């Protein structure tokens, strides 16, 4: 059942999908996790890999940047390829003073300033929250690691020109970080009756002076987040 964006057949994609934003990161994850991985889709430079981890099927596919891009892939995976859960593995900019560069955030929810989730419930602000059992599986896998936090993030449709007072207000109410995909993913999972989670590495900080990760580090320093995402995906 190929689509304009995914040229796989039904059954080619596993029920659980890891979804980084970057296609290079998706390929690196597949090489790390699945020696038997096969490319099952390759449209517009977005490859989907399917293999096994500990005997369980798993797929990895990039979303591209931003919620409209993720929304296309997640909608098709949920509605046309029998995918049951998608775990976003990516980066976020730190907001709360309780997180530092290199920490991992298990995103329990996603405040969303865009319009993608606006009409899911008429005349109501939709609460974009992760699937509890996936949060629990990732948190259990993290154990007492002090560099892992369970907290909400904020999902945005813009990367630049965010007023400083907005970041400060988000941090004040306990928002761990800002990113660009989780809100739409959580909304779509609710819409299709599926499961979703985002596990995010803090790559820079917006409210505390810190040294940002380099582009190379963003590609390679995601091992801890990846381990937690796999634990959730295969739980």
Residues tagged active-site: 204
Structure tokens at 65: 């940047």
HEC profile for 83-137? Answer: CCEEEEEEEEEECCCCCCCCCEEEEEEEEECCCCCCCCCCCCCCCCECCHHHHHH
How far is residue 128 CA from its own chain's centroid? 13
Structure tokens at 6: 């995914």
Other beta carbons within 10 angstroms of residue 24's beta carbon come to 11
The rounded distance, in Å, linking the Cα atoms of 140 and 42 is 34
Q: Which residues contact 185 (CB under 8 A, 6 or more apart)?
A: 19, 67, 70, 74, 86, 88, 110, 196, 198
Q: 117 exposed, middle or buried (CB, 10 Å; 0-12, 13-18, 19+)? A: buried
């Amino acid at each position: 059942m190929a689509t304009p964006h995914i040229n796989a057949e039904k059954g080619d994609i596993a029920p659980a999908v890891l979804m980084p934003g970057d296609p290079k990161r998706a390929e690196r994850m597949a090489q790390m996790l699945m020696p038997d991985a096969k490319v099952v889709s390759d449209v517009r430079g977005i490859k989907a890999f399917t293999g096994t981890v500990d005997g369980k099927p798993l797929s990895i596919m990039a979303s591209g940047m931003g919620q409209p891009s993720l929304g296309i892939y997640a909608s098709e995976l949920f509605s046309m390829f029998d995918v049951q859960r998608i775990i976003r593995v990516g980066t976020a900019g730190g907001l709360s003073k309780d997180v530092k560069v290199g920490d991992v955030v298990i995103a329990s929810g996603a405040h969303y300033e865009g319009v993608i989730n606006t009409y899911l419930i008429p005349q109501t602000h939709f609460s974009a929250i992760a699937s509890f059992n996936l949060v629990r599986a990732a948190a259990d896998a993290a154990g007492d690691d002090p560099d892992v936090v369970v907290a909400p993030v904020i999902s945005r449709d813009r990367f630049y020109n965010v007023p400083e007072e907005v970041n400060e207000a988000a941090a004040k109410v306990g928002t761990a970080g800002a990113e660009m995909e989780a809100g739409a993913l959580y909304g779509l999972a609710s819409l299709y009756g599926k499961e979703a989670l985002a596990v995010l590495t803090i790559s820079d900080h917006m409210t505390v002076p810190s040294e940002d990760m380099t582009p190379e580090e963003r590609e390679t320093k995601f091992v801890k987040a990846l381990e937690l995402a796999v634990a959730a995906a295969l739980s």
